[in-house]
Amino acid sequence: MTNPSRAGSWEELAGLSRRINQAESPQQMAAQVIDCLLGLLPDLDLVLVSLGEGQEHEPRLPIVAAAGHESARLEQAFIDLKDGSLPAAAIGRRQPIKWSLAAPDPAGQPLTQGSRTALSIPLSDGEHSWGVLHLESLSADGLGEQQAALVRLIAEQLSVALHNHQLTSEVKRERERRQAMANISNVLNETLELHAVFSMIVDAARLFIPHVEQAVIHLLEEEQGEQFLRPVALSPRPVSGNRQPESTVRMRPGHGIAGLVLQRGTFINIGDVRADPRFVPNRKDEEFRSILVCPLQSRGRKLGTISVQSPAPAAFQHEAEMLMIELAVEAAIAIEKAGQFEALKTERRRQDAILRNMADGILVVNAAGIVELVNPAMAEIAGQPAEQLIGSALFDLPGGSTLQVIFEEALKKPGATVQRDYVPSPGVFLSASVGVIPGDKEQHVGLVAAVRDVTREREVDRMKTDFISTVSHELRTPLTSILGFVKLIRRNLQGKILPHLPDEDELAQQTQQRVLENLDIIEAEGKRLTNLINEVLDIAKMESGNIDWHMSEIDLQSIVDKAVIATTVLLEHKPLTFTMNMGEGPKIVRADGDRCLQVVTNLISNAVKFTDEGEITVSVHRIEDGVLPEPRGETYARPANLAGDWVLTQVVDSGIGIEKIDLPMVFQRFKQVGDALTDRPRGTGLGLPICREIVEHHSGYIWVESLPGKGSCFSFVLPASDTKALPQPAPEDLAPAAALDKEAKRLILVVDDEEFTRRLLLQMLEDAGYQVITAADGNEAIKLARDQRPDLIILDVMMPQLDGFDTLVVLKNDPQTDGIPVMFLSVLERQQRGLRLGAAAYITKPFEASRLLETVNALVSVSGKEPAAGRHVLIIEANNLTRASVRSVLETRGFQVWDVATMQAGLQVVGHRSPDLVIVGLKVMEVATPQLLANMRRWAEQKPVHFLVMDLEQEDIVESTLETGRIQHLADDVLENLGTEDDVG
């Protein structure tokens, strides 16, 4: 054997140290050490490195590297720790063992026969053991003291390197583990498909957790009130698709390992399931010994468990446990998220299916008015593909401008559904029900509309209305004959036949009485039938929406005034006290004035009908924040909670009242409550249903309160208009005369044979600051007019003895009174006759208080001026209300007015009459054909006439043409009354 030079040895050792520290694996380190030892010790015949710790169930270490002549004779690839070999003994002792044939150590034998010397050095730092370095030589002095010292040095270096490697690889593994977990977490986060998430989790468990052969997820589910754990994912996946996941046992919480884990909320790691009685075995589970089960819980909610299994006993150590806990946390979050998404998707699919299969069109727009969603039905209704509709503005849809208005209305009523019909194209009728989609922070995130094609319904409705219209026509014609001939018969009887009956013939006298009574009955029933027809027609039109509502800001107080006047005649034959009770505050609503009048009139006549004595009170109040007065007795249909401001109108009577059981019937058609056998006057049974239709059309409520025997109270509320919407005339506007001239109050003579009307006018005019005297008939009026010289006379037409027209003729023929302006106030529509006789104005009852006052003010202020009578104005304006209001302004000034709705009709008027002024509404001008306009111009050129085109709704003159100057002062008058400063040009 050769002694290596010391210097050479040190050099070798330094090189070895560098090389093993650079080695990437323990195997490489072992190889380097063996190479080096073979170089340094030429007599070596076997050198090997065995690494590992050995397991209890498998006590042997694999040989990772071996060299030398004898290495080929090694029979085993591992060191058996129990077979009494020298390296096994060295590991056991944790001490190097030097062996020689001369002095054999009894602890163990060399690995090859024939070896004379051997050396086993455990690779250890005294605490950890990494394996063993074992050398043998056939030479007796192959491993002497010197060589042994060198080998120990090398073994020490290897131990240090192995230790270092272990440390760095642990750090590296930890880093890799974290990286892997982060990757899993990322992938899981991005995956929302529940089954993909399951697969990913079980695959990750199998790949990243050491020794895992199989991973399973159980989810906690509920069926028929019972909870159980159902296996949902398995890795590796079963070969056959039909096979259930391996572990098909359904465990209840608290049973089996998984059940226990779920219950406890902490993991359980079992080294050998065969020794654990808690384990519930399955056929397949026999292959497994170790099992590690972790709960899946998210935010305290138990979702299920994840288990990993291994055929080796005690396969899962601390590291595996930590990894499992981490994985379980990530998995639970991912499962919950995917579950929620799945639920969302299911919900979405359900909604999609609902939307797709709905017959109604569904339209969703966002807060910016952009269409976000439409269903196929909507696309069909709109006649455009859904893709085209989505993203376009609501406004651009067919009928979009109307829809916009409906949507805006809906925005004002969050929480309510606004239902309106609209016409996107001629002949197509759609009905949209629109609601607001509430937002979390914002007031709303958009609106949703259900749109239905109601063209067919409309068609049916129209046919129904046409039918009713026709029927009513067919009924009216015979009724005309019946009622007409009854009157003629009575007239003939009374005038020509009855006077010739002998007075002494008692039977004839009796029969005469009876015949007249019978005629009265025919007439009364005929009138009732007429009312019934009118009301049936009314309600049919309302129900089919076939009615034009003339909406404007109206004062309910004036509506009640009118209604009271219209029903005065009913009160005449009953000992009833009538009271009006007007509350504070503006009582302005946006409504159809005529229809509201119909409601109030109906309620008052009902009250009169069912009250024989006592009192009737009509009140109008503005109510704030929906606070209604206390109910009077039992109620029906009284709104429970009103929000906002309303105008409340109540008609209270002291009549017979209504039994509680009958209350719900009062608003039903053709239902008349009470005893049908009494001789009480019967109505049509349609009055209240019509009232309800009208009130509900105005978004109001109508209800009844009653105490049987004490009386009833019918109430309705309409939403109060913003008071700013209607400029309230200031008191001085209403009565300038009074305000300017308090000393000498203007005097007005009111002539009416009805005491009630006299009282009403007296109060109204006195309130407006006038001095008022009254007369009950024409003769008295003429006398008073001569004596008092009033500034204005308000004259009824129908009066006993001397009627209004005759009275006027007398007044106008008397130089003492001919200068006093006279204004007619009558239920008769006989403007032309009145104005022809020289009246300054003609107002029909029922009248609007404000309009009456305006007229009175105007007449009183112009009295003394030359009257404008004899001047003729033609108004051509499509809007009935505008036309009527312009007409009334002009009539106030004493003009004679003709008004027509179309240019065509206007041309006909000028064809046989000669107006001094023609006022044409802008709308009429716009829709008139060029031919008509040309005709009108030609006519205007032939005659000296003033021709004004006005935007009457805006009260603004937009153009003035064909001006001749001849009647300049007339135009000035018009302008003054219309309140504009524009020059006529």
Partner 1 sequence: MKRILVVDDEPHIRTLLEQLLEELDGFVRIELAKDGEQGLRLAIEEGPDLVFLDIMMPKMNGFEVCQRIRDIRGPESPYIIMLSAKGQIVDRDDGLSSGANEYITKPFDPDFVLERVAAILDIPA
Compute the distance between CA of residue 164 and CA of residue 170 in angstroms, rounded to an integer: 10
For residues 79 and 62, give the distance between their C-alpha atoms in angstroms, rounded to a whole number: 6
Identify which range of 157-165, 221-229, 428-436, 477-485 contacts partner 1 by CB under 8 A: 477-485
Q: Could you give the C-alpha distances from 468 to 359, 463, 482, 803, 873, in angstroms and in order? A: 30, 8, 21, 40, 39
H/E element holding 729? Answer: none
Measured from the CB atom, is 284 or 491 closer to partner 1?
491
The binder of partner 1 chosen from 119, 121, 291, 537 (CB under 8 A): 537
In angstroms, give the least distance from the CB of 919 to partner 1: 17
User: Given candidates 241, 277, 727, 911, which one binds partner 1 under the rule CB under 8 A?
Assistant: 911
CB 580 to partner 1: min, Å: 30
Q: Which of 19, 211, 476, 851 binds partner 1 (CB under 8 A)?
A: 476
Q: Which of 138, 905, 933, 984 binds partner 1 (CB under 8 A)?
A: 905
CA neighbor of 382 nearest in space, from 362, 368, 401: 362
481 binds partner 1 (CB under 8 A): yes
Window of 76-84, 608-616, 849-857, 906-914 that interacts with partner 1 by CB under 8 A: 906-914
Q: What angle do CA 637, 638, 639 make, to 5 degrees?
A: 105
Q: Which of 161, 118, 165 is nearest to 138 (CA)?
A: 118
Q: Residue 495 Cβ, how far from partner 1 at the closest point, in Å?
A: 9
What residues form DSSP beta bridges with 917?
A: 873, 946
Q: Which is nearer to partner 1, 396 or 466 (CB)?
A: 466
C-alpha to C-alpha distances, 197 to 182, 298, 330, nearest whole angstrom: 15, 15, 11
Q: Looking at beta carbons only, is 828 or 862 nearer to partner 1?
A: 828
Phi first, then psi: give them for residue 623, nearest 5 degrees. Answer: -115, 135
The Cα 279–Cα 281 span in angstroms is 6
Name residue 514's amino acid: R
Report in angstroms how near the CB of residue 358 gets to partner 1 at its nearest.
37
With binding defined as CB under 8 A, does residue 479 bind partner 1?
yes
User: Which of 153, 901, 962, 984 forms a contact with partner 1 (CB under 8 A)?
Assistant: 901
Tokens of 621: 């109040």
Stretch of 454-462, 487-495, 638-646, 759-767 contacting partner 1, by CB under 8 A: 487-495
Tokens representing 549 are 């509502």
8 is a site residue for partner 1 (CB under 8 A): no
Q: How far is the CB of 826 from partner 1 (least distance, A)?
A: 12
Find the binder of partner 1 among 169, 263, 419, 469 (CB under 8 A). Answer: 469
Stretch that binds partner 1, among 438-446, 485-493, 767-775, 846-854 (CB under 8 A): 485-493
Where do we find the tokens 């974290």?
A: 178
- Rounded to an integer, what distance in angstroms lies between the CA atom of residue 430 and that of residue 427? 10
Fill in the per-residue mask, 776 to 815: x = in contact with partner 1 (CB under 8 A), - = not in contact. Answer: ----------------------------------------
* Contact call for residue 935 and partner 1 (CB under 8 A): no
Question: Contact between 437 and partner 1 (CB under 8 A)?
Answer: no
Nearer CB in complex with partner 1: 469/771 = 469
Q: Please identify which residue in 282, 480, 518, 728 interacts with partner 1, judged by CB under 8 A.
A: 480
Give the range of 383-391, 408-416, 534-542, 923-931 binding partner 1 by CB under 8 A: 534-542
Q: Listing from the earlier edge strand, what are the strands of the sheet with 792-795?
A: 771-775, 747-751, 792-795, 822-826, 841-844
For residues 692 and 700, the answer to whether their CB atoms sit within 8 Å is no
Residues 812 to 841 in contact with partner 1, rule: CB under 8 A: 830, 833
Phi and psi at 65, nearest 5°, equal -155, 145
Cα separation of 194 and 240, whole Å?
A: 21
The nearer residue to partner 1, 351 or 929, going by C-beta atoms, is 929
Single residue of 456, 724, 912, 938 touching partner 1 by CB under 8 A? 912
Q: Which residues of 713-735 are buried (b: 16+ CB within 10 A; e: fewer)?
A: bbbbbbbbbeeeebeeeeeeebb
Residue 784 CA from chain centroid, whole number: 66
Site string for partner 1, 657-696 (x = CB under 8 A): ----------------------------------------
302 or 845: CB nearest partner 1: 845
Stretch that binds partner 1, among 270-278, 300-308, 323-331, 530-538 (CB under 8 A): 530-538
- Which residues, listed in sequence order, are joined to residue 476 by a DSSP beta bridge? none
Near partner 1 in 345-374, by CB under 8 A: none
User: What residues form DSSP beta bridges with 716?
Assistant: 649, 702
Applying CB under 8 A, which part among 252-260, 651-659, 736-744, 905-913 lies near partner 1? 905-913
Instruction: Enter the DSSP assignment of 109.
Output: B
Residue closer to partner 1, measured from CB, 485 or 670: 485
Contacts of partner 1 in 852-891 (CB under 8 A): 880
Query: Residues with Cβ < 8 Å from 210, sequence gap 6 or more?
Result: 315, 316, 317, 319, 320
Binding track over 229-248 against partner 1, x by CB under 8 A = --------------------
**Alpha-carbon dihedral sign for residues 61, 64, 65, 66:** positive
CB of 908 to partner 1, least distance (A): 4
Considering only residues 312, 411, 483, 726, which one is a binding residue for partner 1 as defined by CB under 8 A? 483
Among 146, 635, 902, 980, binds partner 1 (CB under 8 A): 902
Please identify, among the stretches 241-249, 484-492, 500-508, 846-854, the one whose residues bind partner 1 according to the rule CB under 8 A.
484-492
- The answer to whether 473 contacts partner 1 (rule: CB under 8 A) is yes
Total of residues contacting partner 1 (CB under 8 A)? 36
Backbone angles phi and psi of 831, in degrees to 5: -55, -45
d(CA 647, CA 553): 13
Q: Give the C-alpha separation, 691 to 703, whole Å.
A: 10
Element (H, E) at 942: helix 930-942
Count the helices and strands in the chain (H runs, E runs).
Answer: 27, 34
794 in Cβ contact with 750 (< 8 Å): yes
904 counts as binding partner 1 under rule CB under 8 A: yes
The strand pairing partners of 747, in sequence order, are 771
C-beta of 594: minimal distance to partner 1 in Å?
9
CB of 490 to partner 1, least distance (A): 10
When binding is defined by CB under 8 A, the residue of 908, 954, 961, 964 that contacts partner 1 is 908
Tell the smallest beta-carbon distance from residue 881 to partner 1 (Å).
12
How far apart are CB 833 and partner 1 at their closest, in Å? 5
Q: Are 119 and 135 in contact (CB under 8 A)?
A: yes
Q: Does 927 bind partner 1 (CB under 8 A)?
A: no
Distance in Å, CB of 488 to partner 1, minimum? 5
Q: Give the C-alpha separation, 175 to 156, whole Å.
A: 28
- 329 vs 901, beta carbon nearer partner 1: 901
Q: Does 526 sit near partner 1 (CB under 8 A)?
A: yes
Find where tokens 């759609």 sit: 430
Question: Three-state DSSP class for 503?
Answer: coil
- Specify burial of residue 877 (Cβ count, 10 A radius: 0-12, 13-18, 19+): buried
DSSP string, 117-159: EEEEEEEE-SS-EEEEEEEEESSTTTT-HHHHHHHHHHHHHHH
**680-to-576, 654, 673, 674, 675 alpha-carbon distances in Å:** 17, 16, 11, 10, 9
Among 28, 534, 844, 850, interactor with partner 1 by CB under 8 A: 534
Q: Could you say which of 10, 395, 467, 485 contacts partner 1 (CB under 8 A)?
A: 485
Q: Which residues bind partner 1 (CB under 8 A)?
A: 469, 472-474, 476-485, 487-488, 491, 526, 530, 534, 537, 541, 548, 830, 833, 880, 900-902, 904-905, 908-909, 911-913
